Amino acid sequence: MNSYPFLPTIRKKLANKGKPVPWLLTEIGQSQRWLDGITEIENLKLGVIFKISKALEFDFLVDYYKWLDINDVPVRQVLAEPESVYKKEVRKEDITFTLTVRGDVRNASKVMATLKAESEKQGYVID
């Protein structure tokens, strides 16, 4: 069975950009030895495919699935990685601060409501 032409596609995209292979390897933080060991796109971590796609401004996953469809190849797996690979733990802290309002304090509740709404947009909770 034929496999998706991942390395030839990488080389073609590099040529289109006028960039050498070492440039890509630096962009994605990999070595030539790593590249030489690639046999199929299916053996790569999804995060690496994303890095390559970003560096070359080409969506390899979309192209891969188009290739599967055109070549009538059944999908052998669902591309997924454990959440721990791509989701960093968010450190949560409580911060207390004092707000001093000078002037006409009759609108202070509107100011606080706006502050609370804007904070919530950023993922913060104001009690």
Q: What is residue 86's predicted lDDT score, i.e. its pLDDT?
A: 57
pLDDT at 17 over 80: yes
Enumerate domains of the chain plus CATH numbers. 6-86 (1.10.260)
- For 13-79, the DSSP string reads HHHHHT--HHHHHHHHT--HHHHHT---GGGS-HHHHHHHHHHHT--HHHHHHHHHHHTTPPP----
Residue 42 confidence class, pLDDT cut points 50, 70, 90: confident
Percent of the chain with pLDDT over 90: 33
Contacts of 58 (CB under 8 A, 6+ apart): 9, 13
pLDDT at 34 over 70: yes
Query: What tokens appear for 118 in the block?
Result: 């804007």
Residue 96 confidence class, pLDDT cut points 50, 70, 90: confident
Q: What is residue 20's predicted lDDT score, i.e. its pLDDT?
A: 95
The pTM for the full model equals 0.57
Mean pLDDT of 61-76: 84
